[in-house]
Structure 1
Amino acid sequence: MAPGTGGPDGDAPCRTGRQESPEERADRRWGDLLQEVRVAQTGSQVLFGFLLSVVFMPRFAQLEQFDRNLYVVTVVLGALATGSLTAPVSYHRLFAGRRLKPELVEAAGRLVAIGLVLLALTIGSALLLLLREAADGAVAAWITGAVMAYFAVCWLLLPVFHLRRHNGGGKRPPHD
């Protein structure tokens, strides 16, 4: 089979517009994934680091029980997001040299997707916690809801819309 003609399973043709072997495709996708992770991982780690310091601030002791519980949920979400977004490093170390790059890319891609959802939830809960202190509780909830809806539009709905528009209503199989 000529380079670039095998699909993900090696059966169906893959029309990516590139002449690359499955190994070259996996290498390219891995590089792309690492670039994506660098952006999300940095934000996740900075936010998580900030959240860890909040409990040591004098004002923390004055928070209502709901806000303390919200803080705990936020920190746990931040830890989970950081874990998911750094997991590709562990996968790479364990898979290195075993000729499993396509499997590595697929598994790491799923973890990054989970990490992005957890990061969005972390940002939303951190925003709610902050806004509950800065504004009325109802206003905080509405603003947080609007921000989370914006995330959903930017991170999910717009990409899906563009994919469908580009793929003619989703009739062509996804390949990158």
Structure 2
Amino acid sequence: MSKETEKQRLQRNFADLLQELRVAQTGVQILFAFLLTLPFSNGFTQTSDFQKDIYIVALLSAAAATAMIISPVAFHRALFRQGRKPELVRFAHRMASGGLAFMLISMVSAVLLITDFVLDRGLAIVLTVVTALWFLTFWVFLPFARRSWGDPDIEDDDDDPRGTIGD
């Protein structure tokens, strides 16, 4: 088997990131679309000031997540054929991570908004905390706890947020 060149590794890292972003992008766009239409529904006028504040947090964090998750595409277009793949991979990694953080905030806020609208506030807060911990378990705690699974692969630096390039 031939050894992967630095250029091939960067290309693979970027392709992997784009595949991951396609999944996240669909989810955040659906959530964002839902949040954009919510104020135009009949029941929205019955929301409390607290619920409206939570709605704004959910909406703006969904907007931020959307911007960050889509930004690697715009960055790629701006740097196309300039031989700057290392910068692109580092940027895409940071934007994907930030976009997922904003998506987490938006999803948890949306859960709080809806549960607070249909349930007692205390129960809504408990369910929202459970939801946040559920997301954090699968998006943060387990991935970082399992980084050492298996044998280290010297040739595969996917966990290196710098995209195999030293800062």
TM-score, length basis structure 2: 0.88
Residue of structure 2 in register with 1:109 after alignment: 93
Aligned mate of 1:96, from 76, 80, 92: 80
Alpha carbons of structure 1 residues 115 and 28: separation in structure 2 relative to 1, 3 Å:
same
Aligned-pair CA distance for 1:166: 4.0
The counterpart of 1:162, out of the listed 128, 146, 158, is 146
Residue 81 of structure 1 is matched in structure 2 by 65
Q: Once the 2 structures are TM-superposed, how far is the Cα of residue 167 of structure 1 from its aligned partner?
A: 6.5
- Secondary structure of 2:40's aligned partner: coil
Counterpart of 2:119 in structure 1 is 135
Matched, 1:46 2:9: no
Larger Rg computed on CA atoms: 1
1:145 aligns with 129
C-alpha distance in 2, partners of 1:40/1:18?
A: 33
Partner residue in 2 for 1:122: 106
Deviations 1:88-134 (A, max 9, x none): 11110011111011210111110000000100110000000000012
Partner of 2:51: 67
User: Which protein, 1 or 2, shows the higher relative CO under an 8 Å CA cutoff with sep ≥ 6?
Assistant: 2
- Note the residue ranges of structure 1 that are not aligned, 5 or more in a row: 1-16
Cα deviation, residue 18, structure 1: 7.1
Output the amino acid matched with 2:49. Answer: Q
- Paired position in structure 1 for 2:157: 175
Count of equivalent residues: 156
